[in-house]
Amino acid sequence: MKRRTLQVIIGGMTFIIILTVIVLISLNRFMDRQTLTDVQRIAGTYLEGVASGEINNYIVVADIRYSQLNYLSDELDALGENASGDEIERIAAEYARLQELPSFAFVDEDGVIHTVHGGEIMSLGNHESLVEKMKAKEPIVMTGKSSEQDLIVWAAPASYPLKNGKKAIGMLYCRELDQFVKNMHLSEVETLARFLLVRKDGSYVFRTEESVGDTYYDKLLRYTKPVDGTAEEKVADLKEHIDADEAWSMEVIYEDPDRGIKERRSVRVDVLPNSNWYLVSLLPYGVLDETIEGMSAARNKGMMIALSVLCAGILIVVGIYMRMTRGQIRALEKARRAADDANKAKSEFLSNMSHDIRTPMNAIIGMTAIASDHLDDTDRVKDCLKKINLSGKHLLGLINDVLDMSKIESGKMTLNLDVISLRQTMEVMCDIVRPQIKVNKQQFDIIIKNIISEKVYCDDVRLNQVLLNFLSNAMKFTPEGGQIHVNLWQEPSDKGDAYVKTHLIVKDNGMGMSEEFQKKLFRSFEREDNKRVHKTQGTGLGLTITKYIVEAMGGTIEVDSKAGVGTSFHVIIDFERAPEDEGEMVLPDWRILVVDDNEEVCQSAELSLRELGARPDTCRSGEEAVSMVLKAHEEGDDYYALLIDYLMEGMNGVQTAQKINEVLDENIPISLISAYDWSDIEEKAIASGITGFIPKPLFKSTLYHELKKSMCEEIDGGVEVTAGSDKFSLNGMHILLPEDNDINAEIATMILEENGATVERAEDGQMAVDMFKDSEVGYYDAILMDLRMPNLNGFEATDRIRAMEREDAKKIPIIALTADAFSEDANKCIEHGMNTHLAKPIDIDLLLRTLERLVEK
Partner 1 sequence: MNVKEFYEAIGANYQDVIARLMKDELILRFLNKYKDDVNYDNLEKNVAAGDYKEAFLSVHTLKGLALNLGLSKLGAATGELTEYLRAEGNDPEKVEELMVPIRECHKEVTENLAKLS
Contacting residues toward partner 1, per CB under 8 A: 740-744, 746-747, 750-751, 754, 786, 788, 790, 817-820, 823-824, 839-844
How do strand 140-146 and strand 150-161 relate by DSSP bridges?
Answer: antiparallel
Q: Which is nearer to partner 1, 73 or 818 (CB)?
A: 818
Report DSSP state, residue 583: G
Give the C-alpha separation, 707 to 318, whole Å: 81
Contact of 125 with 205, CB cutoff 8 Å? yes
Q: Which is nearer to partner 1, 197 or 814 (CB)?
A: 814
Instruction: Give whichever of 226 and 794 is closer to partner 1, judged by the CB atom.
Output: 794
CB 671 within 8 A of CB 644: yes
Judged by beta carbon, residue 251 or residue 739, the one nearer partner 1 is: 739
Q: How far is the CB of 743 from partner 1 (least distance, A)?
A: 5
Minimum distance from residue 788 beta carbon to partner 1 (Å)? 5
Q: How far is the CB of 767 from partner 1 (least distance, A)?
A: 16
Burial label, 112 (beta-carbon count in 10 A; 0-12, 13-18, 19+): middle
The DSSP output letter for 724 is P
In angstroms and rounded to an integer, the radius of gyration of the C-alpha atoms of the chain is 70
Q: Kindly provide the residue ranges of all beta strands, DSSP E only, lying in 610-733, ordered along the sequence.
A: 615-619, 641-645, 670-674, 692-695
CB of 669 to partner 1, least distance (A): 31
Q: Looking at beta carbons only, is 100 or 742 nearer to partner 1?
A: 742
Task: Work out the number of other CB atoms within 10 angstroms of the CB of residue 201.
Answer: 11
**Which C-beta is closer to partner 1: that of 86 or that of 820?**
820
> Could you count the other beta carbons within 10 Å of the beta carbon of residue 424?
15
Q: Residue 852 Cβ, how far from partner 1 at the closest point, in Å? A: 19
- Please, what sign has the CA dihedral across residues 87, 90, 92, 98? negative
Between 435 and 790, CB nearer to partner 1: 790
What's the CA gap between 659 and 644, in Å, rounded? Answer: 12
- Give the containing element (helix H, strand E) for 409: helix 378-409
Q: Which is nearer to partner 1, 496 or 841 (CB)?
A: 841
| Nearest CA-CA partner of 453 in 423, 430, 494 | 423
Residues in a beta bridge with 339: none
Using CA atoms, how far apart are residues 449 and 603, in angstroms rounded to an integer? Answer: 8
Q: Supply the minimum distance, in Å, between the C-beta of residue 790 and partner 1.
A: 8
What is the DSSP code (8-state) at residue 582? G
CB of 752 to partner 1, least distance (A): 12
| Shortest distance in whole angstroms from residue 814 CB to partner 1 | 17
CB of 746 to partner 1, least distance (A): 7
Smallest separation, CB 783 to partner 1 (Å): 17
C-alpha distances in Å from residue 571, one per residue of 512, 539, 553: 17, 22, 11
Q: What is the closest distance, in whole angstroms, from the C-beta atom of residue 818 to partner 1 in the complex?
A: 8
Contact 828, 795 (CB under 8 A): yes
Hey, which residues does 144 pair with through a beta bridge? Answer: 124, 151
Q: Which is nearer to partner 1, 9 or 839 (CB)?
A: 839
Question: What one-character-per-residue DSSP string does 8-49 give?
Answer: HHHHHHHHHHHHHHHHHHHHHHHHHHHHHHHHHHHHHHHHHH
Closer residue to partner 1 in complex, CB, 108/739: 739
697 preceded by a cis bond (ω within 30 of 0): yes
CB closer to partner 1 out of 775 and 791: 791
